[in-house]
Structure 1
């Protein structure tokens, strides 16, 4: 390829030189009056010399044709979205004030309990005066019960005041004979006496309980 270029350049230079010589000859012929003969000679020379035109360089072979690929899809931009939004409605709501819970009550620890007062000394019980067996005797036996030979035991409770005198008599167990029970309380209320008990140094009344056995006396 380089050799062909050099050959073509040499031919071109030769042709240029010949053309220049012809111009000189023509000019000389014009000067000397040999125009016709010179023109004829120039024509012969021009006919004898064939100027080869420089062939254009062959372009390099085109690259292999790539397979046709479909053009990328054209994505159209989304159309603008327009909407008529309703105007916001302002609604006034009367909100009640927040309910404030009352403060929780403060529970204080209970005050220490005062020590209880000292217990009073136990009361001193009263005691019978004399022999309780003499308060009811066989001489007090009801005559009807004696004739019918009825016997039994009568329980009683005798209450007395701070002076030691009986105030009430209650039958707690019957002998089975009302006249014997009645004779028991009648004689106790008449004869029984007590030494009253004391509480905090002061005389107090109390209660005395016992029983009377009614038996037929032997001759």
Structure 2
């Protein structure tokens, strides 16, 4: 009895296992079947697109043929357009203003120069010559008197603007140096002159020549 119970328990276990396997297989088939069905529906939704084809165009009406009795008129001849002559643009005309010739230069004639004033130039001239000449001769050198020396001395003097003798030189000796020196000394001391003038009347330095005679009475 115990053996029968054990066998029975083993059979039940096998049956339970088989039933469980069957349930697992059925569940797997259900699950996989549902997944495949869902995938098919998604693919059909994505790939299936209803495209409506446009209706074919209606045939155009053909023009009726011309009646056989009426002659066909040829189309009027088409004349080509006349050629267009494009004339080149004329060169620009440069106008140069007329420049009048320069006027001749105005000849300016200077007015005549005023006449030059008369020249006031003059030479030197002695003033009171007899008086100062007598004084020179009266101042006879004492040595020449003792030696009774006589002679004529030629002198040239320089007369300044003030009319006085500024220089003297012997141009003709008397033969006695005493008389020659006395003649120049007397001219520088006693002689007086009216000075020479230039053209404008200004006094200037000039030369004057004379001779002094020494004679014993």
TM more than 0.5: no
- In the superposition, the TM-score normalised over structure 1's length comes to 0.42
- In the superposition, the TM-score normalised over structure 2's length comes to 0.42
